[in-house]
Amino acid sequence: MVFTLPSSKASERVQIWRKLQRFGSMPFRNAGYMLPNTPENLERFEWLATAIRGHQGGASVLKIQSVDDPSETGLQDQFRQLREADYTALIKELQKLKPLVKGTSSQISRLKRRYEEIVAIDFFGSPLRKKAEGALSQAEHPKAKIEATEVKRVSKAEYQRRTWITRPRPGIDRVSSAWLILRFIDPKAKFIFDADAQAHPKAVSFDMFQGTGFGHEEDCCTFEVLCLSFGITDKKVLLIGQAIHDADLEDAKFGRVEGEIINQILKGWAKQAVPDDELLRRGTDLVEGLYNSIA
C-alpha cells in the first residue's frame, strides 16, 4: 500500500502508522508498506486505504507480481527480522516475572495475549518464536502442575462406539469434553443427559457428581482429566484445556479468557431453552472453531 496524507493530518498519520505496525506490515524502501498477499491482509489494507481517503489523503493498494531485489527469500527474512524485536522484548518481560508474586497471573495473561498478537503477524516463522513459547511455558509452570496430578491411563480402544452420559444443561467443561471425545477419542460416540448415572450402567459418565467415569481430579477439570487419561498431547488441545480450566474452575490459573467467552454464549443459549443435544452440538462447533483458530 502506498499513501499520502496532508501535512496538517499529523495525528491521523500516527494512527495510520500504528495500524500498519499492528498489522505486521513492512516498509518497502520509501515506496510504501508490504504484507503477504492473503485475503485477511488485503482486507486490512483496503479498509486502511478507505480511512486515509477519508482524511483527505490518497492511497492505493497494489498486488505485486514479483520483486527482483531483494529476492522472495530476502523479503521473508526481512519480515522475520521485524518480529525478532517483538519476541526479544517479550522474552525479556517473561524472564523478569517472579513466580508466586501477587499480580503475576495477570501479567502472564497480558504477555500471553501479546505473544498471540506477535504470532498472528509472524508470517514466515521467526526462529525466536519457539524461544518465546518456551519462556511463556516456563512462566506458567503448567507441566509441573500437571505432573502433580496422578491420573490412570486408559486405552482408547476400550472406549469406541460407546454411549457417554453427563448432566443436563451442559456447560463449558462438558461441552468441550464432548468435543474432545468426538475429535480425539471416539468419533462414533453418542451422548445422553441424566443426573443419575446409575440409571445407565453401560454408559461412560463424565463430569458427573457421582459415578466412576471421568470427572474433576485434584486441580484438573474433566477436560484436563480426559487429556491425561487418554494421553492426548496435541499442543492446541492443551491450550484449549487451559482456557476450559480457567472458565470452569474460575481460578485464573492460566490467565486465558477464551473459555469464559464460550461459556457465556452457552449460558445465553440455555436461557433460550435450547435443548441439551442442540446445546452440545453448538458448543462443540464453537470449540472446533477455537481449535482451528490457534496458530
pLDDT tens-digit series, residues 246-286: 999 888 788 788 899 999 999 999 999 999 999 999 999 99
Asked whether residue 65 is domain-assigned, the answer is no
> Do 161 and 264 fall within a single domain?
yes
> Do 207 and 239 fall within a single domain?
yes
Q: Distance (Å, rounded) from C-alpha 151 to C-alpha 52?
A: 57
Asked whether residue 80 is domain-assigned, the answer is no
Any alpha helices (H) in the chain, and if so which ranges? 10-23, 39-54, 72-96, 104-120, 128-140, 142-147, 172-180, 222-230, 235-249, 258-271, 276-293
> Do 248 and 185 fall within a single domain?
yes
pTM to 2 decimal places = 0.62
pLDDT averaged over consecutive 10-residue blocks of the chain (295 residues)? 94 94 93 94 95 95 91 93 94 78 69 92 94 85 49 92 95 97 97 92 90 86 95 93 91 83 93 95 96 87
Asked whether residue 73 is domain-assigned, the answer is no
> Do 182 and 233 fall within a single domain?
yes
> Do 165 and 257 fall within a single domain?
yes
Asked whether residue 145 is domain-assigned, the answer is no
Residue 264 is part of which domain span?
Answer: 156-293
Task: Please report the pLDDT score of residue 145 as a whole number.
Answer: 43
Task: Please report the pLDDT score of residue 141 as a whole number.
Answer: 55
Q: What angle do CA 255, 256, 260 make, to 5 degrees?
A: 120
Task: Please report the pLDDT score of residue 279 as a whole number.
Answer: 96
Asked whether residue 72 is domain-assigned, the answer is no
> Do 196 and 115 fall within a single domain?
no
> Do 179 and 129 fall within a single domain?
no
> Do 282 and 182 fall within a single domain?
yes
Asked whether residue 71 is domain-assigned, the answer is no
Whether the CB-CB separation of 64 and 71 falls below 8 Å is answered with no
> Do 118 and 241 fall within a single domain?
no
> Do 160 and 129 fall within a single domain?
no
**In the block, which residue shows the cell 476450559?**
244
Q: Distance (Å, rounded) from C-alpha 90 to C-alpha 111?
A: 7
How is residue 178 written as a grid cell? 464432548
Q: Distance (Å, rounded) from C-alpha 270 to C-alpha 273?
A: 5
Q: Report the domain count for the chain.
A: 3
Task: Please report the pLDDT score of residue 148 as a whole number.
Answer: 47
Asked whether residue 67 is domain-assigned, the answer is no
Q: What is the dihedral of CA 234, 235, 237, 240, to 10 degrees?
A: 170
> Do 48 and 96 fall within a single domain?
no
> Do 120 and 227 fall within a single domain?
no
Asked whether residue 92 is domain-assigned, the answer is yes
